[in-house]
């Protein structure tokens, strides 16, 4: 999956315990910590299906690792299995309800399935817990685009843009939003800005603007 929706998603704190119940004082001897770190560090270096197999085996032994559940969700999201991703993200929240990124990831997955009420619920929850990620604000804006709430759509879009005006992802996302609201000149301006900032696969994104590729699929494959 993309680094983005992981966008989103991958500032993971590695936890440690000697076994399922007892904390370890030495991470080097900590199987729970060490095995997960090895899997996490292999992200982008080996095929995702190999990582997925390692995670499945790991979670059989350590199902209580909320971060590993999150990573498994990200892998499911990467291949477009949003329903499976939701299951993993929900498990992460049940294990650690205080970690903001889990709510953002869950809301993003619900949005990919066009389940906008659930997407809104979890993205707003993330923001209420002080999630400051520009991607959370962009995804929330996209939810309100689907809900046809122009005021909230642009409010969250502006919040995303103010957090990083030099992000090709944010500029391209705003280009899409303005295009959907029938403001082609602003859409074109933001698209050109995104390209200048290094937007990946501009041909594919043009297809997004023409509604022949889903925005979520573009980001999933390119970031």
Q: Is 44 helix (H, G, I), strand (E, B) or coil?
A: coil
Range of the domain at 211: 151-223
Residue 202 and residue 116 share a domain = no
Q: Is residue 138 part of a domain?
A: no
Over residues 100-120, the mean pLDDT reads 97
pLDDT of residue 26: 58
**Domains in the chain, number:** 2
Q: Is residue 21 part of a domain?
A: yes
Tokens of 180: 């959907």
Of 102, 131, 160, which one is at a domain's C-terminal end? 131
Indicate the angle between helix axes 116-128 and 134-146, nearest 10 degrees.
150
Residue 160 and residue 94 share a domain = no
Of 67, 97, 131, which one is at a domain's C-terminal end? 131
Q: Is residue 41 part of a domain?
A: yes
Of 131, 163, 182, which one is at a domain's C-terminal end? 131
For the stretch 157-176, pLDDT in tens is: 999 999 999 999 999 999 99
Residue 94 and residue 38 share a domain = yes
Chain centroid to Cα 220, Å, comes to 9
Q: Is residue 44 part of a domain?
A: yes
For the stretch 14-24, pLDDT in tens is: 333 333 334 45
Residue 127 and residue 222 share a domain = no
Q: Is residue 145 part of a domain?
A: no
Mean pLDDT taken over the chain: 88
Over residues 79-98, the mean pLDDT reads 97
Return the exposure string of 19-40: e unless at least 16 CB atoms fall within 10 Å of the residue's CB, then b.
Answer: eeeeebeeeeebebbebbeebb
Would you list the DSSP string of 89-134?
Answer: HHHHHHH-TT-HHHHHHHHHHHHHTT-HHHHHHHHHHHHHTT---H
pLDDT of residue 15: 32
pLDDT at 151 over 50: yes
For the stretch 205-220, pLDDT in tens is: 999 999 999 999 999 9
Q: Is residue 141 part of a domain?
A: no
Over residues 184-209, the mean pLDDT reads 97
Residue 155 and residue 127 share a domain = no
Q: Is residue 46 part of a domain?
A: yes
Residue 167 and residue 109 share a domain = no
Rounded CA separation 198/188 (Å): 15
pLDDT of residue 30: 84
């Amino acid at each position: 999956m993309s680094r983005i929706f992981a966008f989103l998603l991958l500032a993971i704190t590695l936890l440690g315990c000697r076994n399922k119940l007892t904390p370890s004082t030495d991470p080097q001897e900590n199987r729970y910590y060490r095995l997960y770190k090895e899997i996490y560090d292999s992200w982008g270096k080996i095929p995702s299906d190999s990582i997925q197999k390692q995670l499945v085996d790991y979670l059989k032994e350590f199902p209580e690792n909320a971060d590993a559940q999150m990573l498994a969700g990200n892998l499911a999201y990467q291949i477009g299995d949003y329903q499976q991703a939701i299951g993993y993200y929900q498990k992460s929240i049940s294990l650690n309800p205080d970690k903001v990124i889990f709510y953002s990831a869950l809301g993003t997955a619900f949005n990919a399935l066009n389940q906008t009420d659930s997407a809104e619920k979890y993205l707003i929850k993330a923001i209420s817990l002080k999630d400051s990620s520009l991607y959370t604000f962009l995804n929330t804006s996209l939810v309100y685009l689907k809900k046809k709430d122009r005021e909230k759509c642009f409010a969250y879009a502006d919040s995303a843009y103010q957090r990083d005006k030099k992000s090709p992802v944010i500029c391209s996302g705003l280009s899409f939003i303005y295009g959907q609201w029938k403001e082609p000149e602003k859409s074109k301006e933001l698209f050109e800005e995104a390209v200048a900032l290094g937007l990946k696969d501009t041909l594919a994104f043009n297809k997004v603007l023409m509604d022949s590729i889903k925005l979520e699929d573009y980001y999933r494959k390119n970031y």
